[in-house]
Structure 1
C-alpha cells in the first residue's frame, strides 16, 4: 500500500510547482520587456527579472533546508497564464492597449505567485520550518510590491493612454 501523503509532501510538491513557475517566468520576462512600449513598463519587467533570479535562489535554499534536490514539476496553470500573455502581446502589438494588456498578464502571474507563496509560508510555519517560512515571506513581500507597482503604472498612465486612442 502507498505511503499516506502528509502536509510535508504537499509542501514539497507545491514547492516544485512554484520552482517550475519561477523558472518559466524568468524566461518570459525579457520577452515581455521587449514587447512593452512604455519605457517605465520595460524597466519594471527588467527589475522583476533580477528579483525573480533572487527568488529562484531562495527556493533552492528551501529545497536545501528540506534535504531535497531543487527540481520543478510542470505547472499547467503558469503555462496557461504565460500563454495568455503571449497572445495579448501578439494580438495587441503596435496598439495603445498593448501595455495595459501586458500589465494585466503580468498581474495574473503575480497573483498566482502570491497565492502560492502565501500558502507555502503558512505551511512552512505549521511544519515548524521557520527558516523556510522566512525565505518564503521575503519573496511574498516582493511579489506583492511588484503587483502594487504594476497597478501604479497602470493607474499613472498606461490605462489612460490605452483608452485615449
Structure 2
C-alpha cells in the first residue's frame, strides 16, 4: 500500500487493499506467459493456462469491486507481489533439469496463490464488517478460486493414484 494515503477508517483500508490486490493481479498477469513458456510438464502447462484465464477474470472482478467502492483500481503498487514476481523471474532465468524447473515454477505459483488467499480473505472480512456485501461476495469467490488453484497445483506436484507428480520426477533427475 502506498505510504502517501491515509488510513483513518476501515473503508480506507479496504479500498487500499482492493487497489493493492488489483495491482498484484495485473503484475501476475504480465509474467504468466513467461511461466507458461518455461514449463515443460503438460499438466503444469494446462494449469498455468487455466490460471491465466482466472487472473483475467480476477482483474475484472476487482474492477467491479473498485466501481462499487467508487475508486479507481490503478495507482497502487503491490510490493509483495513485486517480490514474488522477482522470484518467479529468477526461476524462469535458470537452466537445469526440466522437472526441477517445473517444481520451482509450481512453488512460485503456490506462493502467489497463498498471497491471494490471504489478501482476498482479509479484504472479504473487512467488507463484511463494513456491510459491503457485494464486495464481500466478490472476495469470497476470489479466495475460493485461489484455494482451488493451490489444490490443483499440489496435485500436479504430487501426482495421483496412477501418475507420479513433478516432485517425484524432479527427485530422480540427474
**Structure 2 residue 72 is matched with structure 1 residue 69:** yes
Task: Name which of 123, 127, 132 aligns with 2:126.
Answer: 123
Task: Name which of 117, 134, 144 aligns with 1:114.
Answer: 117
| Structure 2 Cα separation of the partners of residues 123 and 32 of structure 1 | 32
Aligned position for 1:20: 23
Secondary structure at the counterpart of residue 20 of structure 1: helix
Aligned position for 1:102: 105
The answer to which of 151-160 and 61-70 deviates more is 61-70
Gaps of 5+ in 1: none
What displacement does 1:4 show?
6.6
What displacement does 1:111 show?
0.6
Aligned position for 2:48: 45
Aligned position for 1:142: 145
Q: TM-score, normalised by structure 1?
A: 0.94
Residues 23-62 of structure 1, C-alpha deviations (whole Å, 9 max, x = no match): 0111111110110010111110011110111111111111
What displacement does 1:86 show?
1.2
The structure that is helix-richer by fraction is 1
Q: CA RMSD in A?
A: 1.5
| Structure 2 Cα separation of the partners of residues 32 and 101 of structure 1 | 11
Query: Where has structure 1 moved over 6 Å in runs of 4 or more?
Result: none
Gaps of 5+ in 2: 160-164
**Structure 2 residue 147 is matched with structure 1 residue 160:** no
In 2, are the aligned partners of 1:35 and 1:93 still within 8 Å (CA)? Answer: no
| Structure 1 Cα separation of the partners of residues 137 and 58 of structure 2 | 12
What displacement does 1:96 show?
2.8
Residues 11-32 of structure 1, C-alpha deviations (whole Å, 9 max, x = no match): 1111111000000111111110
In 2, are the aligned partners of 1:19 and 1:72 still within 8 Å (CA)? Answer: no
In 2, are the aligned partners of 1:81 and 1:108 still within 8 Å (CA)? Answer: yes
What displacement does 1:163 show?
0.3
What displacement does 1:72 show?
4.2
